[in-house]
Chain A
């Protein structure tokens, strides 16, 4: 069945309008970090985002001075944004698929610090090496 077609209507790209409020939330969290030393973590996957909105958020946050690449269970990228104290963390699995995306408002993300258990295991390995020589 054919119909006379209706005049086309331009649909603007879908927007959730979540980018701007999120930037305000980050600003608020940054003030908390400065005044009360309170850290915040935001799960970006928990928020509905339209295609392109996440990219615009990342663009708005920009690139800062530090970029860290973690290799544990696949790669992870930990980047400080152009606003010191705001970190963008992206976890990939071994297939290079994103499994988690977070914004952390902290002086340094815990994940960067060497972990107690890993230091202990590393020390054992080092002692083994020294023993063998």
Chain B
């Protein structure tokens, strides 16, 4: 078994397996949430709350009153830096768009690679800062479970290996590409069964909160 064969497996059957498990797990997770339903609202509603739900998704993503100082500064700044960076890298690197094109038939313009590169570095630095914060803050340390370290590593591995693959660092490209795609597959497989599902549930939770708030009160 040489690395060329490993890469072939990872790009083919391995990817199929990972995608299958990911969709399997996410379908369970989301259906469980949706089928559970909400408590019946007996009061007359002010509005349907649908628009308010979407507003809340947006407003909760912005600093309260435009002042980031009102949130824990460190987590806020690095948390945002990491998530924005990850978003750009995932969706605007040309080879990643090719994956979407092959799987879903969807494609969109890519960003120039040096721009994506900058976001990758931002993400990597932010993730390391967040880990350091987690390890040094007594409060965070108290709240941290082993799963938090696992999901950190699962997210960090594709970022770092992708960066190394692009810049041909340390190992031959064939190796780095195998590690990179393999680490993404591991992320996909464990995604539905860990806190990583927050990437989906976050929006559902915010929408519900906003919807309920929108239904309450008297129509003016």
- Whether chain A touches chain B in the assembled complex (some CB pair under 8 Å): yes
Residues on A facing B (Cβ under 8 Å): 1, 3-4, 6, 9
> Does B112 reach chain A (CB closer than 8 Å)?
yes
The bracket for how many chain B residues form the interface is: under 10
Chain A residue numbers with a CB within 8 Å of B107 are 1, 3
Contact with A along B4-27 (1 / 0, CB 8 A): 000000000000000000000000
Output the least CB separation between A82 and chain B (Å).
39
> Does B37 reach chain A (CB closer than 8 Å)?
no
The majority secondary structure among interface residues of chain A is loop
Of chain B, the residue at the smallest CB distance from A1 is: B107
> Does B172 reach chain A (CB closer than 8 Å)?
no
> Does B108 reach chain A (CB closer than 8 Å)?
yes
| Pairs A-B, 5 closest by C-beta atoms | A3-B109, A1-B107, A4-B109, A6-B109, A6-B112
Question: Roughly how many angstroms separate A9 CA and B114 CA in the complex, as a whole number?
Answer: 12
The 10 sampled A-B contact pairs (Cβ below 8 Å) are A1-B101, A1-B107, A3-B107, A3-B108, A3-B109, A4-B109, A6-B109, A6-B110, A6-B112, A9-B112
Output the least CB separation between B22 and chain A (Å).
25
Chain B residue numbers with a CB within 8 Å of A9 are 112
Chain B residue numbers with a CB within 8 Å of A3 are 107-109
Of chain B, the residue at the smallest CB distance from A9 is: B112
Chain B residue numbers with a CB within 8 Å of A6 are 109-110, 112
Output the least CB separation between A106 and chain B (Å).
38
Chain A residue numbers with a CB within 8 Å of B112 are 6, 9
Question: Roughly how many angstroms separate A9 CA and B112 CA in the complex, as a whole number?
Answer: 10
Output the least CB separation between A68 and chain B (Å).
43
Output the least CB separation between A26 and chain B (Å).
30
Chain A residue numbers with a CB within 8 Å of B110 are 6
Of chain A, the residue at the smallest CB distance from B109 is: A3
Q: Which B75-107 residues have a C-beta within 8 angstroms of A?
A: 101, 107
Question: Roughly how many angstroms separate A3 CA and B97 CA in the complex, as a whole number?
Answer: 12
Output the least CB separation between A12 and chain B (Å).
15
Q: Which B101-142 residues have a C-beta within 8 angstroms of A?
A: 101, 107-110, 112
Question: Roughly how many angstroms separate A68 CA and B106 CA in the complex, as a whole number?
Answer: 64
Question: Roughly how many angstroms separate A10 CA and B217 CA in the complex, as a whole number?
Answer: 60
Of chain A, the residue at the smallest CB distance from B114 is: A9
Question: Roughly how many angstroms separate A1 CA and B102 CA in the complex, as a whole number?
Answer: 12
Extra pairs beyond A3-B108, A4-B109 (8, CB < 8 Å): A1-B101, A1-B107, A3-B107, A3-B109, A6-B109, A6-B110, A6-B112, A9-B112
Output the least CB separation between A1 and chain B (Å).
6
Output the least CB separation between A9 and chain B (Å).
7
Question: Roughly how many angstroms separate A9 CA and B108 CA in the complex, as a whole number?
Answer: 19
Question: Roughly how many angstroms separate A6 CA and B97 CA in the complex, as a whole number?
Answer: 15
Question: Roughly how many angstroms separate A9 CA and B113 CA in the complex, as a whole number?
Answer: 12
Output the least CB separation between B106 and chain A (Å).
9
Question: Roughly how many angstroms separate A4 CA and B108 CA in the complex, as a whole number?
Answer: 9
Question: Roughly how many angstroms separate A3 CA and B98 CA in the complex, as a whole number?
Answer: 13
Chain A residue numbers with a CB within 8 Å of B109 are 3-4, 6
Question: Roughly how many angstroms separate A4 CA and B101 CA in the complex, as a whole number?
Answer: 16
Output the least CB separation between B133 and chain A (Å).
37
